[in-house]
Structure 1
């Protein structure tokens, strides 16, 4: 593993940060397996000394430094007869089997614990990820990292710790070898070092290819998301074949990289046995011809040698398998760090209700160094209806996003009843906000769960559900469905029309116990008749909720208490509809051109 020590220790620190003491329990179990196996093997040499007869006894002669094992047994009154040696061999290997089971099952439990913890941590951090940072991320990268990459990280974890455990066994056998015969230890070190040279080049190639697989996975997942999201457009415009060509290229890139990984893995597996046998033969020749040792005297050394070399090759195999997926592990680590660096701050003051005002004081906000909102001051009274109008890019949506806490101002303050929004517990505040956008959010679930937010089906909740549907002018449609509220809406509401999706999204917000209702082009996808019905129902909410409207269509803002006319992130004018018609030339012109 030349050249990878600093990297492998970095991975160890990462795994340790998630597992803590569990790492060392796994290593102790591996140590126990190796020691018990070594003791069991050592007992075969006394067994060979008793070849002369059933009643023969044995001594520790020929065990070298391992003679302490026989001396220890003798000190507790165990004489090495055929029966006692066989029993001791059985005891050592039974206990080794027990430890091996504990090691294997503990590895499974630890692996599942690690992946569960990693998934939960990333899901939690993604949920608390800064909205400003989120909009700059590639959706394909998020899906690939949170989905397919987790399986590869699980494989990385398994092979990394299998490699370490194999390393522990190598160390145990080398330790026993040093105790038994120092010359043997030197030969093992030389043999292991030479065999490691064969693998180093393969390791480097494997790691490079693993990174390519991760990169290809991001691209493919991104294209897959777009294929589903834009399926109708691609189908209707004849672009599906061209898009398929892009997906084909991404798939072939991944397939080519996986093929290379398979080649390197096959090479590692194929080289294992010849390397082991080659070093075994060389050691025997050196022990007999150079050190003039009898074959019988080197049997125990051979057993330890073969065991240690097998463990070394196992280590190399696991390490190569680990390198196969290091690209995924590096990606998940980097993704976690990215999420961690852009976590939303959260206040400690709970929010209950909006009783007085929302105040924006000298608020500025921008993207990439360019302000979208410039030193803006605004007061919104509780339970008033306020509309924001202006041309595209004037800052309407950004201003509302600041009010609902999707991000905080670069300078200035947004205050809710006099409390800086940064000091509020965000979940208590945002749970009281209803948000209806131009692109309705429909979950792949039943109508009831979509509207109620997965609430329990109590009589009270069912009654609230049908009342919300009625206010959103979609109750009659749901009543006609065979499954009614149990009807599944499909991916992004594919089972219903655009207008029906919008009305369902409106019903969801009307179902909730909210203080603030945001309507961002909410009725733009509706026909005039349905829009009129919904508008009448929303008008009934005037004076009960604080309603913030972003709209271009005149009908949605005409009855607003206040209209804010924005231009280049600043308030150009404000007032009621009548006041702006008579006092603002630009607003008057916009009305005449029906731009709002």
Structure 2
């Protein structure tokens, strides 16, 4: 229950609703018992067992509460008859109806207040999970399935919500219903009530045995939900490849394997969960049957209990069954909820590997240079960069080239602090980037990646990611610099046009130019271009390259290039191989050397 206690802190902002729920449940349980007890006077009138009392009885203490209640009832009925009211039964019916009305009114109020509590916890928990999802470093998601994260934010949080309601019922309403009912039963017949206490522990032991393995099977179900959501997410993201390679059967097979495992685990879980309710009901009926036998002896043989009192007693005893069943269901629900809470807390309590230093400064400008000093880095076991050095003066364009896997894109990940270096330092104007806030560091940079990452929204909203308060005129200027205005102005709704999921209503070149426009709108002093033209056709590449050149004017740029024709005007070209610099110079200088860079240029010109 440790996990569940941690989740309960989310109820703190809604404690007023919690207290109102508790108060409503107290009255619900009270009037629920009184509704049954109120049948007693009506039955007494029906059976004609009402004793004539002309003097109002006096309260002598809690020990004589039962006798006082009976005497006062008889006195009340006698007074009504004296007043000439022939049909006393109508008053009894009104009493029964009133108590049931109050019971149901407070039952509704209890559910009304808990709705705000449940949905409030759900909202805050999901908000925190989403914030944590954004806060965690990129490296976290290279090791985790995205579908599993989605499952935790959706299914697991929903499971916690249902369990949260169950635990409040378990703690407040249902136990109170049982306690009030048993209290009334004790007043009617303490001797008969002893039978109830004999069967309650037996029921509890059987129910606990049934629900013991629920948490384990609940874990399996929730993990498998994460797996099949991951397969679904990958299928939707790679649908063109799946269809293009006729791989439908492969992915369908993976999905069916996952749903098959989910089918087996869910069946075991639900069957054991469903067993708790009928088992508790059967045990309750056994208790009722025993009470019928023993209580019948008291009424018919011993004559120590009035028939109407026995009927009310049986109604109260049966009333215990409903909350007892609810408690058994709540217990199994809590087992499932605790498993879900552990999965949710695993994300919430994950410490981010990349944090701002306690005394991190906010840097708002770039004055002199970026200096990458003797850095080494590895994602897992093998070094991707070894003793790497690079100086990027303000206003210069530095290009990084080399074969795939040489470490080019890793440098972009390190200067933006998507990952932290294992050795060495990266500094801007002499300040280690680890000593700056991540927000201010990334505020100095614009990022254009090989994959044009756009969102299912309008062009306007995608651009505003670069500058949230940008005017329409600023957006149009940025689109013009990025050579994107020529196609945006012809769209049906201009910048208000929705571009679809991942911008798929646009061509590759159009998407990339929008990405460049977004970076232009941000207007950062330092630009990171990670193979921004490598996925484009020749015509799109020319348009994008023109846009990039427009954007890089008067800016400091680090260009990671696959197509060497795009970086010939760079101030410095760095050639990488296996994480180390093997050549460095301008395009003309490196061509004259006829080394690795020359060979790369020749290979691409032949291609």
Shift of 1:118: 0.6
In structure 2, the residue matched to 1:294 is 305
Asked whether 1:446 is paired with 2:458, we answer yes
Q: Of 2, 9, 19, which residue of structure 2 is paired with 1:17?
A: 9
Shift of 1:106: 1.5
Q: Of 255, 263, 268, which residue of structure 2 is paired with 1:247?
A: 255
Q: Structure 2 vs 1, CA of residues 391 and 14 (structure 1 numbering), >3 Å: closer, same or farther?
A: same
Would you say the 8 A contact 1:65–1:180 is kept in 2? no
In structure 1, the residue matched to 2:199 is 191
Higher radius of gyration, 1 or 2: 2
Q: Of 77, 100, 110, which residue of structure 1 is paired with 2:107?
A: 100
In structure 2, the residue matched to 1:226 is 234
Equivalent runs, 1:335-484 vs 2, <5 Å: 335-338=347-350, 340=351, 342=353, 344-345=355-356, 348-453=360-465, 461-484=471-494
CA deviation vs aligned residue, 1:374-419 (integer Å, no higher than 9, x gap):
3433332222211112333322222221111212223333222233
Would you say the 8 A contact 1:455–1:461 is kept in 2? no
Shift of 1:489: 1.8
User: Secondary structure, in 3 states, of the residue corresponding to 1:364?
Assistant: strand
Shift of 1:435: 1.2
Shift of 1:344: 3.6
In structure 1, the residue matched to 2:153 is 146
In structure 1, the residue matched to 2:581 is 571
User: Secondary structure, in 3 states, of the residue corresponding to 1:312?
Assistant: helix
Would you say the 8 A contact 2:466–2:521 is kept in 1? no
CA deviation vs aligned residue, 1:535-560 (integer Å, no higher than 9, x gap):
23333344522211111211222111
Partners of 1:344 and 1:170 in 2: CA distance: 52
CA deviation vs aligned residue, 1:9-32 (integer Å, no higher than 9, x gap):
335413322213465664454334
In structure 2, the residue matched to 1:30 is 25
Partners of 2:319 and 2:353 in 1: CA distance: 49
CA deviation vs aligned residue, 1:478-527 (integer Å, no higher than 9, x gap):
33333333332222222222222222222221222222211111011223
Partners of 1:184 and 1:267 in 2: CA distance: 29
Partners of 1:558 and 1:60 in 2: CA distance: 107
Partners of 1:120 and 1:557 in 2: CA distance: 43
Partners of 2:243 and 2:333 in 1: CA distance: 41
Q: Structure 2 vs 1, CA of residues 463 and 70 (structure 1 numbering), >3 Å: closer, same or farther?
A: farther
Q: Of 217, 224, 228, which residue of structure 2 is paired with 1:216?
A: 224
Corresponding pairs, count: 582
Partners of 2:152 and 2:239 in 1: CA distance: 23
Equivalent runs, 1:315-330 vs 2, <5 Å: 315-323=327-335, 327-330=339-342
In structure 1, the residue matched to 2:141 is 134
Equivalent runs, 1:160-175 vs 2, <5 Å: 160-164=167-171, 165-174=173-182
Q: Structure 2 vs 1, CA of residues 231 and 248 (structure 1 numbering), >3 Å: closer, same or farther?
A: same
Unaligned runs of 5+ residues in structure 1 are 1-8
In structure 2, the residue matched to 1:3 is none
Partners of 1:483 and 1:450 in 2: CA distance: 15
With the length of structure 1 as denominator, give the TM-score of the two structures: 0.85
Would you say the 8 A contact 1:169–1:311 is kept in 2? yes
Unaligned runs of 5+ residues in structure 2 are 81-87
User: Secondary structure, in 3 states, of the residue corresponding to 1:135?
Assistant: helix
Q: Structure 2 vs 1, CA of residues 376 and 343 (structure 1 numbering), >3 Å: closer, same or farther?
A: closer
Q: Structure 2 vs 1, CA of residues 554 and 12 (structure 1 numbering), >3 Å: closer, same or farther?
A: closer
With the length of structure 2 as denominator, give the TM-score of the two structures: 0.83
Would you say the 8 A contact 1:64–1:181 is kept in 2? no
Shift of 1:180: 6.5
Shift of 1:469: 2.5
